[in-house]
Amino acid sequence: MADFKNVQPLDGFDWESFESGAVAASQSKEQDEKAYTQTLGKVNDNDVVEGKVISVNKREVVVSIGFKSDGIVPVSEFRYNPDLKVGDSVEVYIENQEDKRGQLVLSHKKARLSKAWDRVNAALENKEIIKGYIKCRTKGGMIVDVFGIEAFLPGSQIDVKPIRDYDVFVGKTMEFQVVKINQEYRNVVVSHKALIEAELEQQKQEIISKLQKGQVLEGTVKNITTYGVFIDLGGVDGLIHITDLSWGRVNDPHEVVELDQKLNVVILDFDEEKKRIALGLKQLTPHPWDALDADLKVGDKVHGKVVVMADYGAFVEIAPGVEGLIHVSEMSWSQHLRSAQEFLKVGDEVDAVILTLDRQERKMSLGIKQLKDDPWKNIEEKFPVGSKHTGKVRNFTNFGVFVELEEGVDGLVHISDLSWTKKVKHPSEFTQLGAEMDVVVLEIDKDSRRLSLGHKQLEENPWDVFEQTYSVGSVHKGTITQLMDKGAVVSLEDGVEGFVTPKHLQKEDGSKAQEGETLDFKVIEFNKDSKRVILSHSRTFEEGAAEERRPRRAAGKKETAAANVQNQVATNSLGDNDALAALKAQMEGK
């Protein structure tokens, strides 16, 4: 039963009018409404006011602003704030105090937009942490609802680690920091990464300050590059260089680790100022050289796989992490310096002989030519002096031709031993690289691994015959093949070349012989030892003319002498006659 002891009558109430029924007529309905309205807060359309959430369901949020009716706001306008609950204060925009149904119409979205630009600028200036709702993906990043403004979140600013799937962030509400605003176009750029970098920086300082070389830590593979692997050590990153992943050769870090893999690493070095940490993975396992067979020695035969090629040689892995170098000079007995790629390629499996072994320096040199006999071992038996062979032209020099008789055995044919008759200025005039050449062994120098070979010695020396053919004074037809200041080179028969000095190029008509002319030449000097033939064209007509002139002069002298004799005889005869006549007259007178 209700307790009415403390209920007091209304002061000033007209009980007499009430009893007579006149009170109801004295107070109009309009007055009642006016009095009620005065008890409510005053609001205007287009105002932004603060209200209180009184209920929330899946479709709408009911907000009280102290008006005669409550307003309803679609729940979609609060997507950026999934923690919204009854009793929270929210700003709303009054669109209409009373619609057709007498309902107060409110908008939270418009309330946010009305002050959004000022809030965004203030957030940038004060480096304020704000909340935003990630609406969707876009090219290069995400679209974020911030104070009702669509801001851009670059993909690189989502997190400190690379993001592989952006879609997992759509629909999430996260904290951001405004990092850039374009006032002209009203573009806003936000970052989530900036918020965690400061915290990570502090964590890095703490972690680095506790680091020690040789310390083993657990980390997670954060990123894999061509040169190494980045490991997240729990707020600070370290790098395992590709050479520190494994004792063996690693061409691609993906062969050793994978993303998000957890593994133990050892700290090799770190720089507190630059915040760089060098990590190692292979250092947690014993070095392969320590496990190498203790009985392995120089001269032993090993089997391995070519892992790296260089011009100077090939690196062969004979055990995981244990490599030896086969220098190009140890690949073949041939003395021709060639590229290692001509003999081997990466992936080839080869047998080799250990040439040097240094366990302390962990170095080994190998050879594959040692698996074959040294061709110079019995060189005198295979290529005795005087023996004839066919080889291949391998190289030219200014002084001769190198001919390979077999792999590892080369000989030199000196330029003077190419031809008996032809004067060769350069070996390329006589033969070409790769061509076959018949040679005879002239000399062997086993210690220096040198062979002297000859080509012209395969034939008899024609200069023994030429000595008779081209005797001094003999005349031969020849063609001027080269004209020089010092004279001319003349080609004779049998491939013999002669030389003519300028004064002996004079022709009978006084002109000088020209290149390409074929004329008669007289041999004026022949030297078999130096293979020199000196010719003259002038002598062919000058000496002939002199010989013709000499008989004429002799005949003239004879005729003169005869005439003198005849005269003398005639004189003598006349005188004799006179004497006889005188004698006869004297005798007759007696």
Q: In whole angstroms, what is the distance from residue 220 CA to residue 261 CA? A: 6
Least confident range of 29-33, 79-83, 84-88, 356-360:
29-33
Residues 276 and 253 in one domain: yes
Q: Domain check: are 215 and 275 in the same one? A: yes
Q: Please, are residues 433 and 442 in contact by the beta-carbon 8 Å criterion?
A: no
Is it the case that residue 273 has pLDDT exceeding 80?
no
Kindly tell me the burial class for residue 304, based on how many C-beta atoms sit within 10 Å of its own C-beta (0-12, 13-18, 19 or more): buried
Considering only CA atoms, which of 160, 151, 49 is closest in space to residue 108? 49
- Mean residue pLDDT of the chain comes to 79
Residue 57, pLDDT > 50, answer yes
Residue 319 has pLDDT above 70, yes or no: yes
Among the residue ranges 90-94, 346-350, 486-490, the one predicted with the least confidence is 90-94
Residue 234 has pLDDT above 60, yes or no: yes
What CATH code is carried by the domain that includes residue 143? 2.40.50.140
For residues 140 and 165, membership in a common domain is answered with: yes
In a domain, residue 266? The reply is yes
Lowest mean pLDDT among 82-91, 236-245, 515-524: 82-91
Distances (CA, A) of 280 to 221, 243, 367, 387: 13, 9, 33, 64
- For the chain, what percent of residues have pLDDT higher than 90? 11
CA distance 174 to 391: 83
pLDDT at 371: 85
Please give the average per-residue pLDDT across 221-247, as a whole number: 88
Could you give the CA distance from residue 119 to residue 176 in angstroms, rounded to a whole number? 13
169-183, 241-255, 452-466, 493-507: lowest mean pLDDT where? 452-466
pLDDT digits (tens, 9 = 90+) for 191-220: 988 888 777 777 777 777 788 888 888 999
Within a domain: residue 576? Answer: no
Residues 104 and 165 in one domain: no
Last residue of a domain, one of 438, 458, 478: 458
Q: What confidence tier does 359 reach under pLDDT thresholds 50, 70, 90?
A: confident
Mean pLDDT, range 76-81, rounded to an integer: 79
How many whole angstroms separate alpha carbon 423 and alpha carbon 417? Answer: 10
The whole-number pLDDT of residue 379 equals 81
Name the pLDDT band for 183 (thresholds 50, 70, 90): confident
Please report whether residue 12 resides in a domain: no
Phi-psi region of 231 (alpha: psi -120 to 50; beta: other; left: phi over 0): beta
Q: Is residue 170 part of a domain?
A: yes
Structural domains in the chain (count): 6
Burial of 399 (0-12, 13-18, 19+ CB in 10 A): exposed
Query: What is the pTM for the complete model shown?
Result: 0.42
Q: Quick one: 513 and 538 in the same domain? A: yes
CA distance 241 to 281: 9
* Strands, E assignment, 97-154: 104-107, 129-138, 141-146, 149-154
Residues 217 and 280 reside in one and the same domain: yes
Q: Is residue 222 included in any domain, yes or no?
A: yes
Task: Specify whether the CB–CB gap between 438 and 388 falls below 8 A.
Answer: yes
Residues 52, 104: one domain?
Answer: yes
Mean pLDDT within 53-66: 86
- Give the residue from 195, 267, 198 showing the smallest Cα distance to 238: 267
Task: Assess whether 134 and 188 both reside in one domain.
Answer: yes
Q: Residues 304, 324: contact at Cβ < 8 Å? A: yes
- Cα distances (Å, whole numbers) of residue 187 to 120, 128, 142, 153: 11, 18, 14, 11
Residues 522, 536: Cα–Cα separation, whole Å: 5
pLDDT digits (tens, 9 = 90+) for 396-432: 888 888 988 888 788 888 988 887 767 778 888 888 8
Instruction: Classify residue 566: in a domain, yes or no.
Output: no
- Residue 152 resides in a domain: yes
Q: What does the pLDDT look like over 422-459, one tens digit per residue?
A: 777 888 888 888 888 888 888 888 887 888 888 877 87
Are 134 and 103 contained in the same domain? Answer: no
Residue 161 lies in a domain: yes
CA distance 24 to 34: 16
Nearest-CA neighbor of 130 among 189, 198, 45? 189
Name the residue with higher pLDDT: 176 or 119: 176
Tell me the residue range of the domain where 76 lies.
Answer: 48-112
Instruction: Please list the residues that pair with 515 across neighbouring strands.
Output: none
The string of pLDDT tens digits covering residues 561-571 is: 444 544 444 44
